[in-house]
Amino acid sequence: MSKFDSGERDHAPTRLIRSKNKAATADAPTEHINQGHAGDKETVKIGSEQPTVNINQGQSSAGDAPTVNIKQDNVDFRPETGAMAGGNLNPASDSAAPAGRTSADKTVLVRRSADTAEQATVAWLVIVSGPGKGKSISFSYGLNKIGRDVSQDIALSFGDSEISRQEHASIEFDPKTRKFYLSKGDNLVYLNDERVGAGGEKTLEQGDEIVLGATTLRFVPFCGADFDWPASDS
Amino acid sequence: MQAIWSASQIQGGRDYQEDFLGVIENNSAIALGKKQLLEDGALPAHQSLYLLADGMGGMGHGDLAASTVVDVFMASFLENIAEGLDIRTSLRQALHRSNQAILDMITAEPEQSGMGCTLIALLWDSHLATVTWISVGDSLLGIQRDGRWLALNEKHIWRNLAKKKRAAGEVLDEEEIERIGGALYSAIDGSELSAIDQADLSIQQNDVIIIASDGLEVLSEDMIEQTINTSLKDAAEGVEINDAFNTVEGIRSSLFSGVEEQNNHHQDNTSVISIGFFNGLA
């Protein structure tokens, strides 16, 4: 059974049924712009309150911001697990304090909850040729999807457009066997010049070369037969 | 007035995550696991944009649809603002641009056909003390004000549409409505957007806005209201910024605790952004 056709609403993933298939029941409007619960009004009003324009002139100082732990270039949280938080502390005016320089490094917060600690490194991939040459990417436990989209576990976002955005290939470290496995995703991947076929995974060894698009990666394991992180560290 | 937010996701009983969140404020775009610095003034400093997309269908490409829509919407919205369009129009055009992006992908790779997502995009303007949103699908947007919960957006599910049709005197195939009632009739899937919800709301001090994917619906509206009230009761009084953060985080985490207490093994992906509005934080 498709995972999309479960009948019970609370358990069913979101699904869409277009009106063209259901003309006999209740046609969806062609383009209906609903203006909110308050009926026809463009501005929703709750109760009888009037819109309040309240421009607060206060501005925080750097010392006010709790647990500021972001890096400016790249916040390293996982959208799947990470909690994040931030605030707009409303600089006095845009002209007095140009947007972005005002409070970017004071008030934007990205905090990890206790259960989203950085996962331990199990291996690295080093780009030995192609865009991003010389850069390395570490990865951790679980199935690591490789693609050029930044959402990927191993994001090769250095400009090689021959790499699929998502799931070009994937690598997994199996703590039971303490081995690494490379598998094909949506696009061609080669291990030491040999094609990795669909449904067939290949074991990775130190120094193996993986080719995706115009990029060649060298595999450098950290965990393996001689070492694995204790369960509590991972 | 100042807006403080907290966001996170749980995967529930699913082996995939199709919800994507994004925030633009303070010249940064936070989405898809990255924070990107934007050009100065890309979004005026007194505004913040919050996004949630819940993916669906397309042989498991729901995550691709949702992440694409978050990505494209943010870029398009900023372009529209830069061109001097007003907030409503900017939101609207960004929505259509996102829908076009999905159509382009499906055209290029037909096996992705059927993928799509819901979207809530909410813009906070502290000078106007107003939020403006655009919403397609059945994700949840609501406000807690003076202890009462009120859903703000209209959910584009067949059950709701049928209610309107009945009120207008139409005779419907009730069995069919029963069968498909929870399904969407409008989503960002590259087809014409058959329903769009857009409105403004003026914000008051101590309002709390919640944006969530439909995974939160294992909690009834009464339970959401009660959970937020309990959380607010426990919150520290005061205008310390730390207290404000703790308040919005407390609300967000207590909603997740509520979801977990339902102990639903088939729990859907659930994402929550809680936004609290405060005066005079220091």
pLDDT (0 to 100) of residue B14:
74
CB contact A99 to B (< 8 Å)? yes
B34/A75 Cβ within 8 A: yes
Q: A176 vs chain B: nearest CA distance in angstroms?
A: 21
Q: In angstroms, how far is CA B157 from the centroid of its own chain?
A: 16
Please tell me which residue, B179 or A231, carries the higher pLDDT value: B179
Q: In chain A, where do the E strands start and end?
A: 32-34, 43-44, 84-88, 123-129, 136-139, 142-147, 154-155, 169-174, 179-184, 189-191, 194-195, 202-204, 209-212, 215-221
DSSP 3-state assignment of A166?
A: coil
pLDDT tens, residue by residue, B34-78: 778 888 788 998 999 999 999 986 566 888 999 999 999 999 999
Residues of chain A with Cβ-Cβ distance to B181 below 8 Å are 9
Q: Which residue of A has its CA nearest to B4?
A: A87
Sheet holding A169-174, edge to edge: A154-155, A142-147, A169-174, A179-184, A202-204
* Residue A107 near residue A89 (C-beta atoms within 8 A): yes
Q: Which of A91-95, A215-219, B256-260 has the highest mean pLDDT?
A: A215-219
Hey, what are B96's tokens?
């259509």
Q: Least CA distance to B58: which residue of chain A?
A: A4
Q: What percent of chain A has pLDDT over 70?
A: 52
A-B CB pairs within 8 A amount to: 314
Under the phi-then-psi rule, with left for phi > 0, alpha for psi from -120 to 50, and beta for the rest, what region is B129?
left
Q: What is the 3-state secondary structure (H, E, C) of chain B?
A: CEEEEEEEEECCCCCCCCEEEEEEECCEEEECCEEEECCCCCCCCCEEEEEEEEEECCCCCHHHHHHHHHHHHHHHHHHHHHCCCCHHHHHHHHHHHHHHHHHHHHHHCHHHCCCEEEEEEEEEECCCCEEEEEEECCCEEEEEECCEEEECCCCCEHHHHHHHHHHCCCCCCHHHHHHHCCCECCCECCCCCCEEEEEEEECCCCCEEEEECHHHHHCCHHHHHHHHHHHHHHCCCCCCHHHHHHHHHHHHHHHHHHHHHCCCCCCCCEEEEEEEEECCCC
Average pLDDT, chain B: 89
Q: Which range (A21-25, A72-76, B7-11, B243-247) has the least confidence?
A: A72-76
Average of per-residue pLDDT values in chain A: 64
Check pLDDT > 60 for residue A105.
no
Q: pLDDT tens digits, residue range B94-151?
A: 999 999 999 999 999 888 888 999 999 999 999 999 999 999 999 999 999 999 999 9
Q: Do A104 and B37 touch (CB under 8 A)?
A: yes
pLDDT, mean of residues B165-172:
89
Coil, strand or helix at A115 = helix
Q: Cβ contacts (< 8 Å) between A66 and chain B: which residues?
A: 241-242, 245
Task: Give residues 4 to 43 of A whose Cβ lies within 8 Å of B.
Answer: 4, 7, 9-19, 22, 24-26, 28-38, 41-43
